Structure 1
Amino acid sequence: MNKRQWICAASALSMLGSGNVFAHGYIKQPEARGYLCKLGENSQCGAVQWEPQSVEGYSGFPQNGPADGQIASAGLAQFSPLNEQTVSRWAKRPITAGPTNFTWRFTANHATRNWRYYITRPDWLANQPLNRAAFELVPFCVVDGGMQQPPQEVTHNCDVPPREGYQVILGVWEVGDTPMSFYNVMDVMFADVSTPPDPSAWQAKGMLYPSIDLQVGDQAMTRVFDASGERSDLQTRLQVETSEQGQRNQWTYLLASRINQQQSQLKAGQRGSDGAIQPVYGQNSLFARADSGIQRIEVQIDKATAPNHDLLVDGLQPSYRIRGGQLRLEFNVTAVGALQISSYVYDHDGNAKGFAATELDNNSQPLSIDVESPVPGHHQLVVSAKVVGSEQVLQKTFDMMFVADDGSASYDFTFPDGLRSYTAGTRVLQPKTGQLYQCRPFPQSGYCMQWSAASTQFEPGIGSHWQDAWIAD
């Protein structure tokens, strides 16, 4: 157990003993980066989209706490996508300098030492990983927690320093009775107060997500709706002509650019500090003029007719014998097309008992799965394959029985040991299947010795003509 695991375990025991629960919480307003993942306004976020309340790391920032480059994730590997940092990667919330409310939402509140708020320096580098050098290390706002449990929501009114353009604010909730804190970053955009507001006021009505890579021939298009229904006259369509255009950050940029070129009531991109909306490589907001009557904008992807793909599985047996408390499944998978293949073993109650994975492109490969704590009874092997570059999934499911080793079975050799000694009646254990096989009587017994790594047609239980030489025992 490492130091962090030991501390967490000790803290957990002390909290259980005192009747407390683990702390969890996130900044609800302005929405933190992870919370916007949950809301769907940030994409490709990983696990944080399901638990924005869990971005927890060691206390002590800036002297201690998460390492540089891992501040946004609090140093947790499962939340590492939060550490990606470019000027266009994340959705931004408008903000102005001066009194600003910051609202925390607690899903499990806790005795609190304090809350602290930090902001990036005016000259920070927005395309570099977030590090301590990017922040003013003296917090612009500190709220004492008094070592008390806060209510389920708490709001702090803080005086935000003046800044220009895109900035990051880091909120830290330091828990009082554990060595941990919660780290939330907020991506904000300071408005250019010298620029008068645009009377046509562009309003966000949708989002263009870099969700998947597209293939040549695929199309992406906008669908625009007002109170009367869909406006086909405002549709913008992009057909992918090269593999480079199909890359997720590329086609979103191209479609956003085409919207801005073709439409006068729509815009796509990210809004700058001067209010201008420019396309970016990646996630783009979709805007409509406030006076257009447009209520929402959706993006639809039409996939070109996909080439034929298939998943083939062979080499399986209807039953397998557990020997010495162990069992290994061995089988072959064949991909027609480019496939990402995952194989799972489940017992009758649906508990996972083993896993193997590979990626194939119009070729075959043997796979093996060591079954965890095998027990006699009905089991299933599920082999699924995701078509590379597509959302298409293929699946094959196979039923099989695991049989207990009653101790009565014995054998002369583990195949192919002692190959030249095989005669009629010789019993061998096939390690690839866990099955026993008996060499057939003369004259077929001569086939039992006919095996090599390059010539496997008579391999027991595996070869294409194994039944000419062997009897399953």
Structure 2
Amino acid sequence: MKQTLQTTLAFGCLAASTLLSQTALAHGYISQPASRSQQCALGANTGCGAIQWEPQSVEGPDRFPETGPADGEIASAGVSHFSELNTQTATRWTKTTVQTGSIDISWHFTANHSSRDFRYFLTKPGWNPNQPLERASFDLDPFCVVDGNNERPPVDLTHECYLPENRSGYHVLLGVWDVGDTVNSFYQVVDIVIDGDNTGPSWTDVGDIHPSTDLNPGDVVRARVFDDVGEMPELAIAWTVDTPANGDSQVWPQKLAETINADSTQLRAGVLNNGTITPAPGRNDVFVEAGSAITRVETEIVTDEPEPVDFSLNGVMDRYEIVDGRAEVDFNLTSRQTLTITAELFDADNNRITGTQGTLNTSLDLGLTVENAQPGTYSLVVVAENENGGTAQQTRTLNLVDPNADQEYDFVYPKGLESYEGGTRVLARDGAVYECKPFPYEGWCRVYSDASPHYEPGYGSNWEDAWIRVAP
């Protein structure tokens, strides 16, 4: 009976592992009109946190609204490290102007997967855009439903839907992709401005002026114009930043839009509202009249680049021993330039532990003293800056170890991932040593990605299925 029970448990765990692996393989986002997470990846939304690197990963419980993420966490699908998406005000997010009536909603899948269905919801008339999104914000009867037929979609997929006509102004569109053979769905919120009906607007949006960065006097921003054949340089419009105030990221897009409107007979730039295009602080769109040969406009920023910084970081060891509660992290830097050096040490949770500064002229020996040192994996971050403001950074991973503890290991996780087998020992980010369980569990030790760290020792939600903590 004991052997039978163990086999059954092993089979159940393997099934759970398979399900998690399948879930991790399914990722996608709404690309048109660009979702809140995709606007973060594009730089149109700022202050987004981790979602800017993985807009495809907003995954949570399925079958909204009966279940799914909690009220106030709908935009992030309840994923804590995407919580920035849950902030909701009338002005927080970049919006896309659309019309009621026929609307194309496009998905891009970084890892497509069998699909149960796609459902689209819209905020109610009179919803409060300054309160966190909750079920009460939405009309819970989806305005568009597309059967997935339990088939894998292509990498890019477009659904033709019909946007309700009793909406205007700012609304949030919620798209839910229900994966066919897992218990999860992918959630995408899209910030839109509904501007009348779709009966043939006189203006076509062909580009964006994003408030991507602050600029300095002398920097140039240029609107580059293209048709189906290629670039049309004779139609380019440029504006040069004249004052520090006008180089602010919320100011220069408006200045470029004003210049476009003053100098071009074929382009208009600004914010479209009831047929009127007005330059405004922050993001501005670029328009042409319907039927124009111009197909797109790109914004180019030309800056004076600082002198490139070149330096070498030498002598960083893989491990430093802790002696009487203290560790000394010593290293050397060399360069042919005179550079200001800032060196900082961060633990596995990205907490700054200690730091130092120095001036590098040919060669510089530096050391960081870690008081009350704890075993674990750390990041040494060295930033060098020259007199012209140019910077360069180098980062090294190192481990602080207690020589008196049983710290023998084969790899620093996840190095050597493909070779892990039963009995393999790794040093994890928490400074502890973990041993891979034997067959039939050892396969889970090799399952890892940044987007799916379920089996990372000491950290992932399912690490105990794969690992045994052996020290300390």
For this structure pair, what is the TM-score category when the shorter chain's length is used for normalisation?
Answer: 0.5 to 0.7
C-alpha separation in 2, matches of 1:91 and 1:388: 40
**By how many angstroms is 1:212 displaced?**
1.2
Q: Distance in 1 between matches of 2:183 and 2:79?
A: 15
Q: Measure how far apart 1:135 and its partner are.
A: 1.6
2:173 pairs, out of 152, 155, 169, with 169
Maintained 8 Å contact 2:257/2:269: yes
Return the alpha-carbon distance in structure 1 between the equivalents of residues 223 and 115 of structure 2.
Answer: 49
Q: Which position in structure 2 is the counterpart of 1:235? A: 237
Q: Is the 8 A contact 1:11 1:178 kept in 2?
A: no
Supply the AA of the counterpart residue of 2:278.
Q
Match of 1:287 in 2: 287
Query: Whole-Å Cα distance in 2 between the matches of residues 257 and 234 of structure 1?
Result: 14
Q: Distance in 2 between matches of 1:320 and 1:17?
A: 36
CA–CA separation in structure 2 for the residues paired with 1:388 and 1:137: 58
Q: Deviations over 1:296-348 (max 9, x none)?
A: 43333344687x9999999x999997455973327999xxxxx9956469xxx
Match of 1:383 in 2: 382
CA 1:270–1:111: 2 relative to 1, 3 Å: same
Q: Would the alpha carbon gap of residues 224 and 396 (structure 1) be closer, same or farther in structure 2, given more than 3 Å must change?
A: same
What amino acid does structure 2 have at the position aligned with 1:150? Answer: E
| Equivalence for 1:257 | 258
1:219 and 1:239 in contact (8 A); partners too: yes
Local SS of the residue matching 1:140 = strand
1:21 alignment counterpart: 22
Unaligned runs of 5+ in 1: 1-9, 334-338, 346-352, 407-473
Structure 2 Cα separation of the partners of residues 359 and 220 of structure 1: 38
Residue 74 of structure 1 is aligned with which of 74, 77, 81? 77
CA RMSD of aligned residues (A): 5.6
Q: Which residue of 2 aligns with 1:183?
A: 187
CA distance in 2, matches of 1:183, 1:388: 47
| SS of residue matched to 1:90 | coil
Counterparts of residues 301-312 of structure 1 (less than 5 Å): 301-303=301-303
User: Paired residue for 1:33?
Assistant: 35
Q: Is the aligned partner of 1:300 residue 2:300?
A: yes
Matching residue of 1:348: none
TM-score with structure 1 length normalisation? Answer: 0.57
Q: Following TM superposition, by how much is the alpha carbon of 1:384 offset from its aligned partner in structure 2, in angstroms?
A: 1.6
Encode CA deviations 1:30-53: one digit per residue, 9 max, x unaligned.
445057448848454554454333
* Residues paired across the two proteins, number: 369
Q: CA deviation at 1:62?
A: 3.8
3-state DSSP of counterpart to 1:245: helix
Q: In the alignment, is the contact (CA less than 8 A) between 1:121 and 1:135 conserved in 2?
A: yes
CA contact (8 A) 1:207 1:298 kept: yes
> Retained in 1: the 8 A contact 2:214–2:247?
yes
Structure 1 counterpart of 2:239, one-letter code: R
Aligned residue in 2 for 1:118: 121
Gaps of 5+ in 2: 1-10, 334-339, 360-365, 405-472
Which of the residues 125, 133, 137 maps onto 1:134?
137
Residue matched to 1:456: none
Matched, 1:55 2:51: no
Instruction: Give 3-state SS (helix, strand or coil) of 1:152's partner.
Output: coil
- What CA distance in whole angstroms lies between the structure 2 residues aligned with 1:319 and 1:37? 39
In the alignment, residue 299 of structure 2 is paired with which amino acid?
V
For residue 422 of structure 1, what is the aligned residue in structure 2?
A: none
AA matched with 1:393: T
Quote the Cα distance in structure 1 between the aligned partners of 2:179 and 2:287. Answer: 40
Aligned to 2:470: none
Question: 2:444 maps to which residue?
Answer: none
Cα 1:76/1:223, change in 2 over 3 Å: same
Aligned-residue offset at 1:55: 0.7
Percent of residue pairs identical: 33
Q: Aligned equivalents of 1:386 and 1:69: distance in 2? A: 43
Q: For 1:191-202, list aligned pairs within 5 A.
A: 191-193=195-197, 197-198=201-202, 201-202=203-204
Alignment check: 8 A CA contact 1:22 1:110 kept: no
Amino acid at match of 2:269: A
Question: After alignment, is 317-326 or 207-216 more displaced?
Answer: 317-326
State the alpha-carbon separation in 1 of the partners of residues 153 and 254 from structure 2. Answer: 40
Report what 1:96 is aligned to: 100
- Which AA in structure 2 matches 1:170? L
The within-5 A match list for 1:318-337 is: 322=321, 324=323, 327-329=327-329
Change (3 A) 1:367 1:129: farther
Deviation at 1:278, TM superposition (A): 3.0
Write the distance in 1 (CA, Å) between the matches of 2:380 and 2:99. 54
* Cα distance between partner residues in 2 of 1:388 and 1:71: 47
> Partner of 1:249: helix, strand, or coil?
coil
Residue 210 of structure 1 deviates from its aligned partner by: 1.5
Matches within 5 A, 1:219-234: 219-224=220-225, 231=233, 234=236
Which residue type is aligned with residue 238 of structure 2?
A: T
Distance 1:277 1:75, change over 3 A: farther
Aligned pairs for 1:304-383 (under 5 A) are 322=321, 324=323, 327-329=327-329, 341=342, 343=344, 368=369, 383=382
